[in-house]
Structure 1
């Protein structure tokens, strides 16, 4: 796998990494238009269907902790094949579920499969590229991932129209099988055998302990994690806010969702080009200020009773654009000093970020006021925590970064 250049056009290996990284988000966004049909068919309150999303995020968080050590011991390819197998089987099982409890269970299993695509692509990128190049590659990877929030709800909506909500999960299973074949036939191992780590409990525990006490790693990880938490709060809360509160026709839900995704994509690509002239830490610093500004503005408008759909969309697009800068740069900076334990570091980073997402998703799904307040308050909290985490990491190491 030749990965020495990440300049546009994207090389095939990076496109494959983007598709794998998009698998987890695909399983989030694709079934959003089916929430109403699922609640009706399974005869449960819509809030229970929302919890299938939060449980998926929690599963993603926990599973990533396992894939990191496996990727450092056995290489990047075998754990990917294992994860894709789990994802495909669980997707079919979700489609066959007859009650909400079994659906939640299989969503957790599905997350344990999809987590491989969240951990290993970051490690593959850092196998080859330095911090600046990795930030550029992750920005390009976000281009592939960013298409998912545009296409997935539209694809899911069509699947529900042509079949049922179960068709969405069958389709996820087919995508998992296609990616399994692509990895098996096209991907080459990127981990040098000399850099493989033993799969020993003591060594793994030591790696995690070192990472948890590494100020810059934890600061940058949480900076990206709380930003991701805001994104997942938006994903979990957007059907309720757009469709129920503002009365948006479900057919137009994908368009509004896509506008916010487009802001994320555009900003991440601008950020990739700015990295030619500015260091990642400077871009992160400035983007986090905008992140806080846009979310506090949304919260203030909500508390004052002045919020409406156009103003909310403006704030949401500003938040997503800022996250397009925060996500790639925070990830690259977090992994910049973790060469000997990239798999474990990528796993812990992903787990903490998904945990932030799960908590934010639970907050939005359990707090109902009939206004956008649960969403805007959660976004403002996540953005503020992201800002503080970034400052914690930047303080002593600004020159070194």
Structure 2
């Protein structure tokens, strides 16, 4: 594949599928949390820990795989990671205890991180500026179908085959990812553009990335915005089913409808970004995220989690992320194009590390109250707004060089 700003739709589709391992591996089994508690004779906290370890695996895997891809290219780490993810998914389906499942979910996340981090790095290799922002938004639009379909498919699989069937379906998706990557993903980082080898070089590259103030501003904005969404995701099985009273099928439909809002705003973002600009769209998205989260906390605190207002505010809050994710990703990676793999890795690692922290936080009294979820969402979105407003001043999509901005 040559370094060009034009990318075929088939490549974008497979990159979206590869990066969608996270929503598929998270959202498909959420409706089964109560069933897993009974089947594995464990607690809600232990079941949520399988979500935490998966996200930690995604974070650590990206930190390892992303920088290595700056040295060895994108294609080989992508194929190897996806193969290991297939084996891990099948092993999760056979896990005899909750302890085994927790450990295997870490391996699944670590190996699945290859698709997540390298999909972003490949786009950074082949596109720049507004074109990159548009591609990221389109990729997340395609990938946004995953959280719409995943709970619906997961609900059907759980009804027919139990929670273990979800992981067999994930193994099948991993196989499809492998086939797509072999056929459609060529090497996007030629040898002359790769970093020299060695651990010292890896550390040096990471230092260059972390000293870029604008990169950190957009990356942390992305990560804390995602933390707000993961607080909702981790708490949703108990808030929507135990507190609001939805059944498994109704929960899946509502979860999919809320995810559809994110898909719609991602499509809108891709259409208007050439005219409005990615920076302005990111500010609009973060402002909406904060307003929606604050409204949600107010309603839950004063009204005792009424169904309609709670669901409407969740829809607005999650939909706001469609204006943030693709644009913040493009803005962050545009600051460090020379170290695309490392930059992509740190963005993703921060995202899933914070998400892993959010999961147990919302588990505190999460079976009886929606307040921990709402508080976590407000705090995360407030931090995102503060960092966006203070650390990204003067940033553009076309930095003069890849060196660090003055801190």
TM-score (norm 1): 0.96
> Structure 1, residues 160-211: CA drift from partner, whole Å, max 9, x if none?
2221211111111121122112212332111122101123111110111222
How do residues 101-120 of structure 1 correspond to structure 2 at under 5 angstroms? 101-120=99-118
CA offsets per residue over residues 246-285 of structure 1, 9 Å max, x none?
1101111111111111110111111111112122111111
| TM-fit CA distance, 1:5 | 3.0
- SS at 2:42 equivalent: coil
- 1:4 matched to 2:5? The reply is yes
Partner of 2:405: none
**Structure 2 CA distance for aligned equivalents of residues 114 and 369 of structure 1:** 29
Q: Residues 283 and 388 of structure 2 are in contact (CA less than 8 Å); yes or no, is this contact kept in structure 1? A: yes
Contact kept? 2:239, 2:366, Cα under 8 Å: no
Matched-pair contact (CA < 8 Å) for 1:281–1:394: no
2:324 is matched with 326
How far does residue 400 in structure 1 lie from its aligned partner after superposition? 7.2
Residues 369, 36 of structure 1: CA spacing in aligned structure 2 closer, same or farther, 3 A cutoff? closer
Q: Which residue matches 2:294?
A: 296
For 1:258 and 1:166, locate their aligned partners in 2 and report how far apart those are by CA, in whole Å.
Answer: 21
Q: Select which of 24, 39, 42 maps to 1:41.
A: 39
User: Which residue pairs with 1:147 in the alignment?
Assistant: 145
DSSP-derived class of the 2:297 partner: helix
**Which segment is superposed worse, 355-364 or 298-307?**
298-307
Hey, which bits of structure 1, 4+ residues long, moved more than 4 A? 398-401
Query: Shift in Å at residue 96 of structure 1?
Result: 1.0
Structure 1 equivalent of residue 256 of structure 2? 258
Which of the numbers 83, 86, 100 marks the counterpart of 2:84? 86
Pairs aligned (count):
398
Is contact 1:86-1:112 (8 Å) kept? no
Q: In angstroms, what is the RMSD of aligned CA positions?
A: 1.6
Write the distance in 1 (CA, Å) between the matches of 2:19 and 2:121.
Answer: 11
Deviation of the 1:28 alpha carbon: 0.7
Superimposed CA distance per residue, residues 72-105 of structure 1 (whole angstroms, 9 cap, x where no aligned partner) = 1111111111111111111111111111111000
Q: Which runs of 5+ in 2 are unaligned?
A: 400-407
Give the secondary structure class of the aligned counterpart of 1:105: helix
- Deviating more after overlay: 369-378 vs 164-173: 369-378
Equivalent residue number for residue 165 of structure 1? 163
Structure 2 counterpart of 1:22:
20
Aligned 8 A contact 2:6 2:126 in 1: no
> For the structure 1 residues 52 and 309, does the alpha-carbon distance in structure 2 shift closer, same or farther, using more than 3 Å as the test?
same
Matched, 1:122 2:120: yes
Q: Distance in 1 between matches of 2:392 and 2:336?
A: 17
Look up the match of 2:66: 68
Which of 361-370 and 199-208 deviates more?
Answer: 361-370
Counterpart Cα distance in 2 of 1:399 and 1:295: 29
Distance 1:163 1:171 in 2: 11
Alpha-carbon contact 2:335-2:397 (below 8 Å) kept: no
- The aligned residue for residue 208 of structure 2 is 210
In the TM superposition, residue 368 of structure 1 has moved relative to its aligned partner by 3.1
- Output the CA distance in 2 between the equivalents of 1:26 and 1:281: 29
- Distance in 1, matches of 2:280 and 2:365, equals 36
1:32 maps onto 2:30 in alignment? yes
In the TM superposition, what is the alpha-carbon distance from 1:307 to its structure 2 partner? 3.8
TM-score, scaled relative to structure 2: 0.94
Listed one character per residue, the Cα deviations across residues 121-180 of structure 1 (whole Å, up to 9, x for unaligned) are 111111111121111111111111111111111111111222121111111112112211
Structure 1 residue matching 2:393: 3-state secondary structure: helix
Change over 3 Å in CA distance of 1:306–1:93 after alignment to 2 = closer
Alpha-carbon distance, 1:328 to partner? 0.9
1:85–1:180 contact (8 Å) kept in structure 2: yes
Q: CA deviation at 1:4?
A: 3.3
Matched with 1:373 is 371
What is the DSSP-based 3-state SS (H/G/I as helix, E as strand, rest coil) of the residue aligned with 1:323?
helix
Which one of the candidate residues 344, 347, 370 is aligned to 1:346?
Answer: 344
- Listed as ranges, the matches of 1:168-179 within 5 Å are 168-179=166-177
Measured at CA, do residues 397 and 4 of structure 1 come closer, stay the same or move farther in structure 2, by a change above 3 Å? Answer: closer
- Is 2:303 aligned against 1:305? yes
